[in-house]
Structure 1
């Protein structure tokens, strides 16, 4: 299984915002920190905003921050939101699907996968590695000063 680039960007954005606390972050800052297109990030941030993960403040001094505490956002929850399809194989057209034992095993594996991800919050990931917040702050420091929201 491989997560989409969209999920990757969503996870990066949420981690970045969590590390920055309540500080408002501009799209240009996040894009520069990760070397990601601002256009892609706008789509991700818009979706995360509609889903209640991020909040935006409009205007010249505006930006984005988490809409709720990072300790209340599980990694599994975020990925369930950003991914459309978790089917590991397409069994619908298979002639053996009615008697095959593979789908229940794969369902069990997927449940175990999410059980692990549900045990971790965004806050726990930020705190997991020593120096993560320092790294995020150094990435943000190299970002352009202009605020594009």
Structure 2
């Protein structure tokens, strides 16, 4: 399974803000070498979901709306990811063998295990080496 770049960037924006406390879209995009347009979409969505807050004007910027230990990785991934990993997961899927194939059940079990693992972690768990992350972001 591969997460979409949208989910990847969502996680990276939250990591950046947890380390820096406050920043801007331009600085985050430049630091990661990612398109500013992608980060705009990610920041907009994270704001709608309540993970970040934005303040405009002098001294403004983007910051976390909650502490890193309150940001559950499973919840974030579920909110940003499409889990129709194969056609038979989609309600309008048209796989001819779906009614007799065991693949759907196996993949569902794997997906469930993946999400159950993420449920045990928060953004804070990712920040155990905060100084090293900060150094790399400064390069």
Gaps of 5+ in 2: none
Give the equivalent residue in structure 2 for 1:59: 57
Give the equivalent residue in structure 2 for 1:146: none
| Contact 1:30–1:140 under 8 Å retained in 2 | no
Give 1 or 2: higher helix fraction.
2
Q: When the two structures are superposed, what TM-score results if normalisation uses the length of structure 2?
A: 0.87
Gaps of 5+ in 1: 143-149
Give the equivalent residue in structure 2 for 1:126: 127
Give the equivalent residue in structure 1 for 2:15: 15
CA pair 101-56 structure 1, distance change in 2 beyond 3 A? same
Out of 26, 29, 37, the residue aligned to residue 27 of structure 2 is 29
Distance 1:139 1:89 in 2: 36
Larger relative contact order, structure 1 or 2 (CA cutoff 8 Å, min sep 6): 1
How many positions carry a matched residue from both structures?
A: 135
| Partner-residue secondary structure (3-state), 1:55 | strand
Distance 1:105 1:140 in 2: 39
| Contact 1:49–1:55 under 8 Å retained in 2 | yes
